[in-house]
Amino acid sequence: TFAMVDLEGELEDAVDNIDPVLDAVAEAEAASDGFEILIGGDASLNKQIIEIVDEDFGRALFLNLPIMFLILFLAFGAVVAASVPLALAFAAVITANGILAIVSRVYPLDMAYQEMALLMGLATGIDYALFVVTRYRRERRAGRSKEEALRVASGTSGKAVVFAGMTVLLAISGMFVVDNAVFTSLALAAIVVVALAIVISMTLLPAIIAMLGDNIDRLRVPFLGGGTGEGGGVWGFITDRVLAQPAIIGAVTVVVLLAVAVPYLTLNLGFNGPRTFPDDAEGKKALIALEENFTIGLMQPAVVVVDAGEKENVFAADIQASVAELVRLVELESRTPESPDEPYGAVAGEPDFNDAGDTELIAIPINADGGDPEAIDAVNHLRDDLVPQAFEDSSAEALVTGNTAFNIDFKENIVFRTPFVFAMVLGLAFIILLVMFRSIVIPIKAIILNLLSVGAAYGLVVLVFQEGWLLEGILGFEATGIIESWLPLFLFAILFGLS
């Protein structure tokens, strides 16, 4: 059996207020004898998503921080020099979170903004500090005084940091074109933390280097961090090999990148439903129980919103006649033992009305997971056929919403706005590189190479996460055959800016 529990407010409010319901279910489950009590639905599923993401993100950060420090230590060969970029990156992240907390009082930010600030802060903060510290140490080894070495480092690597950071900011600003609250939140978080990383690299970092002086090489390990002179080390060796046969190596590299990018042509954009949750997630167990005994659509139904329009309320005879006609049409295509493949489930319960009586909600279960093609087809069938047919003679306006409907609209918005984002990012990147290098060839070359690298990244994303290469055997995941509709555009803004 099942029971429906309605929570007041928007989804965010429901997620915040779901804990007492979860506690009640847990108590009932503990007191039950021989049967299982599960909870599903949007609020509990989103609560579980937040918990899973927080746990996984914390684990990833715990594992990656030592790796970041190890890479910096191998690059510099000194504990102090390796610690400076990491410390400044965290300074940017902490300051950014303080600023964003103030921003959230004025403009509500998506819950993922903190993760975005952390990732972008580490990526750029470490990178920018690495440039300046490396140049300073190189100039000191070349015999310059501390002040002169710092002046040269700030005037060369520091200048590169400013222009690199500006390119990142311009690329990320392309996400504003999507006109979506989540993208706007992520863009704001990234822009604030990257801007701080630039400022810190040009102000606090030189001050720290000036105070440390040659102590930046304290706790040095011999034979590590070598090859920082002109043309030295493994990178100098690789560069020499490339310069010996630039045309051949360049052509081979381009061919390889294009080959890796080819799988992008089979990209299947969509959205994953609760079925992709971990098997031990309670929401997925509830989903399976509903699917086996009732209909999966009870968890995330399509919702028809009826607005009375010119009539004072939805109880007018013509509106209720249209509602009854819609229910009849849905029941003709509802699953029965004789017709198990029909798209809808029987309309459960009575319609909901608002206090003013001018709006009515009709929940229509869909017999498919929210991200399945069958669910998408069922929602489109409601929008294109059943609802217009039922309300063609009514003065009311009827619209279809719900999780699947929202995801359909979200994907269409992303697909429509993607060319505008690409044009904006590429155009602004060309302009800033043109200003920096005063050359037309260099910006064009940079844009082409970045597009090749982004294309290769897209191809690998499709191979790994859509087709399942390496996932099941090495990473332990199961491919769903779908790439989330927001991911390519998000990746483009991030990868193009950083590269």
pLDDT digits 0-9 by tens, 175-206: 899 888 888 999 999 999 999 999 999 999 99
Report the percent of the chain where pLDDT is more than 70: 94
Residue, of 241 and 219, whose pLDDT is higher: 241
pLDDT, average across residues 219-247: 72
What is the Rg, in whole angstroms, of the alpha carbon atoms belonging to the chain? Answer: 28
Do 270 and 484 touch, CB atoms closer than 8 A? yes
Q: How far apart are CA 306 and CA 309, in angstroms?
A: 9
Tell me if 474 is assigned to some domain.
no
Q: Is residue 348 part of a domain?
A: yes
Supply the mean pLDDT for the chain.
Answer: 85
C-alpha distances in Å from residue 475, one per residue of 183, 431, 469, 472, 491 = 28, 41, 10, 6, 21
**Within a domain: residue 203?**
no
Residue type, 258: L
Other beta carbons within 10 angstroms of residue 223's beta carbon come to 6
- Strand, coil or helix: 399: strand
Q: Which range (57-66, 299-308, 338-347, 452-461) has the least confidence?
A: 338-347
- Asked if residue 75 lies in contact with residue 225, where contact means CB atoms within 8 angstroms, the answer is yes
pLDDT of residue 189: 93
Q: Residue 352: CB partners within 8 Å, gap ≥ 6?
A: 360, 361, 363
Q: Are 95 and 196 in contact (CB under 8 A)?
A: yes
Count of the separate structural domains present in the chain:
1
Is residue 327 included in any domain, yes or no?
Answer: yes
Within a domain: 108: no
Query: Residue with structure tokens 């003709």?
Result: 332
**Distance separating alpha carbons of residues 418 and 269, to the nearest angstrom:** 13
pLDDT band (50, 70, 90) for residue 408: very high
Q: How far apart are CA 20 and CA 247, in angstroms?
A: 67
Assign 474 a pLDDT band (cuts: 50, 70, 90): low
Q: 465-487: b or e for each residue (b if 16 or more CB lie within 10 Å)?
A: bbebeebeeeeeeebbebbbbbe
Give the pLDDT band (50/70/90) at residue 456: very high
- Helix, coil or strand: residue 30: helix
**224 alpha-carbon distance from chain centroid:** 37
- Beta-strand pair 269-270/483-484: parallel
Range of the domain at 315: 301-401
Q: End-to-end CA distance of the chain, in Å?
A: 54
Q: Tell me the C-alpha distance between 481 and 468, whole Å.
A: 8
Q: Could you give the count of Cα atoms lying within 13 Å of 479 in the half-sphere of its Cβ?
A: 18
Whether 328 is covered by a domain: the verdict is: yes
- CA–CA distance, 106 with 98 (Å, rounded to integer): 14
- Residue 104 is classified by DSSP as H
Structural domain includes residue 314: yes
Q: Report the SS3 class of residue 342.
A: coil
CATH number of the domain that 364 lies in? 3.30.70
